Amino acid sequence: MSFWLLKTEPTDFSYGDLEGRKRAVWDGVTNNTALMHIRAMRKGDGALIYHTGGEKSIVGRAEIVSDPYPDPKAGDPRFVVFDVAPAGRLPHPVPLEAIRGRKDLATLDLVRNSRLSIMPVAVPLWKKLLSMAE
């Protein structure tokens, strides 16, 4: 099982929207590196949902509930999507400022390459981020 961080603008699609839908297609990704990450995802992987914009915080957990598949709206097989379902709101959001303040999280792509919309999260970092939410 792998772990991921998925970034979303809460005014476009928030964690609350995901909770309301129970399952959603994660689409709209065009960055080559992010698409490469999507292609590596598998059903059952875990994800953290990060709100961008004014919030800049990890707010919830999700489960990848499908393997990646071609985006039916794109008409181009290079663009892939996956389905995601909520797995629980975090007890306390984990703000980017707090993440950046910890040396043990310096290798997290959110700190190193903050523009990337989908990124892998190593197991030790996943555990640290979840512990920060307690």
Task: Work out the mean pLDDT of the chain and round it to a whole number.
Answer: 96
Rounded (5°) CA angle 101-33-119: 35
Least confident of 42-46, 63-67, 108-112: 108-112
Indicate the pLDDT class of residue 115, thresholds 50, 70 and 90: confident
- DSSP reduced 3-state for 104: helix
HSE, CB side, 13 Å, CA atoms: give it for residue 111.
16
Rounded average pLDDT over 9-36? 96
Predicted confidence (pLDDT) per residue in 44-58, tens digit = 999 999 999 999 999
Predicted confidence (pLDDT) at residue 114 exceeds the cutoff of 90: no
**CATH for 125:** 3.10.590.10
Compute the Cα dihedral for 67, 73, 78, 84 and give only its sign: negative
pTM of the entire structure?
Answer: 0.95
**Residue 105: how many other CB atoms lie within 10 Å:** 18
User: Domain containing 62: what range?
Assistant: 3-132
> What does DSSP assign to residue 129?
H
Among 115, 133, 1, 108, CA closest to 64: 1
Please state the domain count of the chain.
1
Q: Which pLDDT band, with edges at 50, 70 and 90, does 112 fall under?
A: confident
Mean pLDDT value of segment 124-131: 97
With beta carbons less than 8 A apart as the criterion, state whether 91 and 106 touch: no
The reported pLDDT for the residue numbered 113 is 79
As a whole-number percent, the residues of the chain with pLDDT over 70 amount to 100
Model confidence pLDDT, tens digit, residues 74-99: 889 899 999 999 999 999 999 999 99
Q: Quote the pLDDT of residue 20.
A: 98
DSSP 25-74: EE-----HHHHHHHHH--TT-EEEEEE-TTT-EEEEEEEE-S--EE-TTT
